[in-house]
Amino acid sequence: NDALNKWMRAARAISNITLECQFVITRLCAYIKPERPEVQDSVIAMRRMLVLALVLVHKHVMGDDNFEQELERGLIGKEEVDELNQNNVCVSGGEGRWFST
């Protein structure tokens, strides 16, 4: 069944991304010593982006576009949600050129 195969591939992709994010975050926390505040801020920002990437893939697969919980927890900002909710359309500029509007 094609629908089942698509679902299984999506579930496998999310599982693989989860494992890779966990791997990167553990290495990040283990090897980077955040003695300086700017280093600590960078580590926190990187961790947020990794987790957000995983959440966005999961939401895409599930067809979920509600970001209230993520906004409440500070995982995503209002500006980022606004950008995600923009409808972009590609149009031809002639001669094979495509532009996002």
pLDDT band at residue 68 using 50, 70 and 90 as cut-offs: very high
Residue 63 sits at φ, ψ, to 5 deg, of: 70, 30
- Closest by Cα among 45, 48, 46, 86 to 65: 86
pLDDT of residue 38: 80
pLDDT band at residue 3 using 50, 70 and 90 as cut-offs: confident
Break the chain down into helix, strand, coil percent, rounded to 5: 70, 10, 25
Q: In terms of DSSP bridges, do strands 90-94 and 97-100 run parallel, antiparallel, or are they unpaired?
A: antiparallel
Q: Quote the percentage of the chain above a pLDDT of 70.
A: 84
* Inter-residue contact 98 to 88 (CB < 8 Å): no
pLDDT of residue 31: 80
How far is the C-alpha of 24 from the C-alpha of 75, rounded, in Å? 18
pLDDT of residue 100: 55
**Structural domain boundaries in the chain:** 2-100
Residue with tokens 């995982």: 75
Cα three-residue angle 19-23-28, rounded to 5 degrees = 150
What does the pLDDT look like over 13-62, one tens digit per residue? Answer: 888 888 888 888 888 888 887 777 788 888 888 888 888 888 888 888 78
